[in-house]
Structure 1
Amino acid sequence: MHDAHNKHSSEKPITRREMSRRQFLSYTLGGTGAFMAAGITIPMIRFAVDPMLQPSGEGTFVKVVEESKITNEPKSFKFQIHQVDGWYESDIELEAWIMKDDKGDIYALSPVCKHLGCTVNWNADPRYPNQFFCPCHEAHYTKDGKNMAVAPAPLDEYKVKLENGFVYLGKVQPNQHVTK
């Protein structure tokens, strides 16, 4: 019997910990406040992130010119695209030099110089006949956009689609016509 008495005396009595009114109110008010803060914060986060989740319109092409007007000689054509930048929507005017290559295929070059972003022109300097020339720092390019001096890379080109007798231009991409 002595062992049984020692066994029970070494164990402590089980005490239930009860929550005080102050703790209950703290937990309740803290939970309610967190729920309300989440209700306010989640729409703000969605507002900030939503434009990034929208489709980018990668496959969008813009009708620019009749196919019959394109020759081997580069010609400048201006066109407008609808641009969505976050929550701001606008129509911006772009330009492209459109021509045919030696095989008769139509391609379009961006007029933005790869040196510092000035605008190039065709046959603009008599020192560089039949070349694109940038007046800012005298960069010049061949007809297919290959960089000859100053600029570190060839002119970019637009994706081209021919449909129903018209030339459509898409996104700008690295030059595909320059032979390395």
Structure 2
Amino acid sequence: MSARVLIVDARSERSQALEQALREAGFDVVMTIGEQEDLYAAVEQLEPDAVLIDAASPSRDSLEHLGQLGKRYPRPMIMLTSQDSPELTRDAARAGVSAYVVESLMPPLMRSMIDVAIASFEQHNALREELTRTRRSMTERKAVDRAKTLLMERRRLSENNAYQYLRKLAMDRRMNMSELAEELINAADERRR
């Protein structure tokens, strides 16, 4: 199955050539919309695999708009432009643009550009999800450690016994240990007030 691409075209005179180059490269162009049309609605409705933005000179407003789109509907975004500027390239990358390409409609280049952008986006997204899981796991572990410390102080238990007590209590209440730990910590904080 070929990747589905949504084109955001600020230069309507080029849209047919761009669509043709993408199709020749083996992509399914789901729609071409103008720069002023509702990009959020199009992405939500069509669920493209990638968004290709064809802009002569991307403005800071349009880059900010793309950054918001990327946060709401994460997708690889490829910007095709005629302006070669290191500052614009950095701004585009900060906005979440996966690839910033200066003028080329050759199908082989389009194929590799979009494939690399999609692969890079997927890898970045997987790393972001792993980081989120790791942070959550560390937060949960800290809560369990803090709850163990509370039990060790209040009940005069060894670390192992405090852990076993938490584990058994969590099983009895059908909770995971981090939820129980948060509950114990909150109760202890309430008593201190």
The alignment's TM-score, normalised by the length of structure 2, stands at 0.22
The alignment's TM-score, normalised by the length of structure 1, stands at 0.24
Decide which structure has greater strand share. 1
